[in-house]
């Protein structure tokens, strides 16, 4: 089992609900449409048939339903190996090559990039999921949507932008622009919905303050944040909302899955999983044991579409708290309480503690006067340590250092190494931040 420190447990709030209710609802997730989809996939897909050790003639809806819980999980490294064995795309892509017309890949930050091809139908499924997210986030045809980054080879912004066009929204690409130019565009074009990362939202807030510009006065309706934990980290969100106003919407997706969740406008911190798009499960990331009731663990997703590259019990590497609690908005499906709490591979073990970077980020962003930070985990046999580099104003530095020492000591019972840096000495990132380094 994963053991969480008391500080982590306080941050990862666990709600109470009925275990039997959870199990009944989970059974209902394997709907006839889901089973029909996977019956069709497994009949054609040699990768999954080898994995499940089943012949095409033995696949049926009842067989899938009866055996689903014993199907082996699919991992990213397994798909990477499959692409090495059947280059370049792997035979988990099983349609004829001419049926695909889209190429994307993952960042490769944890090994070789994973390549994904999409067929026309698969792409339409991804866009339809975005349209459900727009509806849950309250985005309307009259809204003006801004996508500030270059889209690169990753799936997210391409699908979001095309869904915006499909929804009939006036859509603005902003790749390759400076932050100042983007701020001018937001004002001149009366943009009211922005898709960005929490790190860049903080960066834009910093630039706007330097310009004497109040972002709260721009008439913005929604700030859709994704790509890294942040919108769900209380102190980080507070900082973002101080600049932008209470318009933050947390969202998550990945190239492997497309968009998956969006925060409901009725319940802050509750991210609904797109209905009829995924079946979600949670496992202990160490024992791989499926968790049968509300708990924190690694999110496992089975897709309900995108037939050209479907995912069956795919280990996302995201630590989440999966719930089935009914939301006041009427949503009665699966949700993630608190969004993506962390990445499973980011947890570090230090001096008797299991520590997640998002928990540390919450602590650092809780302390006024810390302008930016970087944390380095130096791992060595018997003498690992954490180094905090923090940017502060010179007048505040000693006071802030003492405050951070106290916060870390009371949570983890060790004295941290803290280095004070002058303002603007740490890099500001577009897209995801690199505030946590392991060496
Ligand atoms: Zn809701």
Residue 40: CATH number of its domain = 3.40.50.12780
Helix (H, G, I), strand (E, B) or coil at 147: strand
Query: For 88-92, what is the mean pLDDT?
Result: 97
Predicted local distance difference test score (pLDDT) of residue 54: 95
Same-domain status, 18 and 108 = yes
Domains of the chain: total: 2
Q: What's the CA-to-centroid distance between 164 and ligand 1, angstroms? A: 22
CA of residue 258 to ligand 1 center, whole Å: 20
CA of 139 to the centre of ligand 1 (A): 15
- How confident is the model at residue 26, as a pLDDT? 60
Residues 275 and 312 in one domain: yes
The Å distance, Cα 269 to ligand 1 centre, comes to 10
Give the confidence band of 25 by pLDDT, cuts at 50, 70, 90.
low
Q: Is the pLDDT of residue 135 over 70?
A: yes
First-to-last alpha carbon distance for the chain, in angstroms, is: 26
**Ligand 1 centroid – CA 132 distance (Å):** 12
Q: Read off the pLDDT of each residue in 140-163 and give the average, rounded to a whole number.
A: 96
Burial 251-278 (b: 16+ CB within 10 A, else e): bbbbbbbbbbbbbbeebebbbbbbeebb
Strand segments (E) across 167-256? 170-173, 193-196, 222-225, 248-254
| pLDDT confidence band for 14 (50 / 70 / 90) | very low
CA–centroid distance, 168 to ligand 1, in Å, is 24
> pLDDT at residue 4 above 80?
no
Buried b (16+ CB within 10 A) or exposed e, 197-208: bbbbbbbbbbbb
**Does the pLDDT at position 79 exceed 60?**
yes
Give 13 Cα–ligand 1 centroid separation in angstroms: 18
For residues 137-158, average pLDDT: 95
Query: Is the same domain home to 293 and 406?
Result: no
137 alpha carbon – ligand 1 mean position (Å)? 10
Q: How far is the CA of 338 from the centre of ligand 1 (A)?
A: 13
- CA 154, chain centre distance (Å): 14
Report how far ligand 1's centroid is from the alpha carbon of 267 (Å): 6
**Interhelix angle 120-137/155-166, nearest 10 degrees:** 70
Question: Which domain covers residue 44, as residue numbers?
Answer: 14-343
Whether residue 207 has pLDDT greater than 80: yes
| Same-domain status, 90 and 191 | yes
Residues 316 and 409 in one domain: no
Q: Report, as an integer, the average pLDDT of 275-303.
A: 90
In a domain, 151, yes or no: yes
Distance 339 CA to ligand 1 centre (A): 13
Q: Distance (Å, rounded) from C-alpha 223 to C-alpha 213?
A: 17
Q: Write the CA distances from 269 to 15, 181, 225, 266, 294, integer angstroms.
A: 12, 32, 12, 10, 16
Q: Ligand 1: distance of its center to the CA of 261 in Å?
A: 11
| Cα-Cα-Cα-Cα dihedral sign, residues 162, 339, 434, 220 | positive
Q: How many helices (H) and strands (E) does the chain have?
A: 13, 20
Ligand 1 centre to CA of 136 (Å) is: 8
């Amino acid at each position: 089992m994963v053991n969480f420190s008391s500080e982590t447990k306080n941050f990862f709030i666990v709600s109470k609900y009925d275990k039997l209710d959870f199990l009944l609802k989970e059974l209902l997730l394997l709907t006839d449409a889901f089973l029909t989809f996977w019956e069709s996939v497994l009949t054609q897909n040699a990768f999954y048939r080898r994995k499940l050790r089943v012949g095409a003639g033995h696949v049926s809806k009842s067989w899938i339903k009866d055996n689903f819980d014993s199907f082996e999980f699919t991992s990213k490294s397994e798909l990477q190996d499959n692409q090495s064995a059947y280059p370049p795309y792997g035979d988990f892509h099983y349609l004829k090559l001419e049926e695909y017309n889209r190429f994307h890949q993952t960042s490769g930050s944890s090994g070789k990039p994973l390549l994904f091809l999409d067929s026309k139908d698969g792409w339409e499924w991804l866009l339809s999921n975005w349209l459900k997210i727009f509806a849950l986030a309250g985005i309307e045809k009259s809204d003006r949507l801004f996508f500030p980054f270059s889209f690169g080879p990753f799936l997210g912004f391409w699908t979001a932008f095309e869904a915006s066009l499909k929804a009939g929204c006036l859509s603005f690409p902003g790749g390759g622009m400076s932050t100042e130019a983007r701020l001018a565009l937001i004002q001149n074009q009366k943009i009211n919905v922005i898709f960005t990362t929490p790190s860049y939202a903080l960066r834009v807030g910093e630039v706007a303050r330097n310009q004497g510009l109040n972002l709260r006065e721009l008439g913005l309706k929604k700030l859709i944040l994704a790509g890294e934990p942040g919108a769900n980290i209380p102190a980080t969100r507070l900082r973002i909302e101080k600049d932008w106003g209470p318009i933050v919407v947390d969202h998550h997706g990945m190239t492997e899955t497309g968009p998956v969740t969006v925060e409901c406008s009725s319940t802050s911190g509750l991210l609904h999983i797109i209905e009829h798009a995924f079946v979600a499960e949670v496992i202990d990331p160490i024992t791989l044991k499926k968790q049968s009731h509300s708990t924190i663990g690694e999110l496992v997703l089975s897709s309900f579409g995108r037939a050209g590259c479907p995912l069956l019990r795919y280990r996302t590497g995201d630590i989440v708290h999966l719930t089935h609690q009914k939301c006041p908005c009427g949503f009665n499906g699966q949700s993630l309480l608190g969004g993506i709490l962390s990445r499973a591979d980011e947890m570090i073990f230090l001096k008797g503690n299991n520590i997640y970077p998002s928990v540390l980020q919450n602590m650092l962003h809780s302390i006024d006067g810390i302008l930016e930070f970087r944390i380095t985990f130096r791992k060595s046999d018997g003498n690992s340590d954490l180094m905090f580099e923090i940017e502060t104003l010179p007048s505040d530095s000693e006071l802030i250092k003492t405050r951070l020492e106290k916060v870390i000591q009371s949570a983890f019972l060790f004295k941290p190494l803290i280095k004070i840096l002058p303002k603007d000495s740490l890099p500001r990132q577009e897209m995801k931040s690199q505030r946590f380094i392991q060496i």
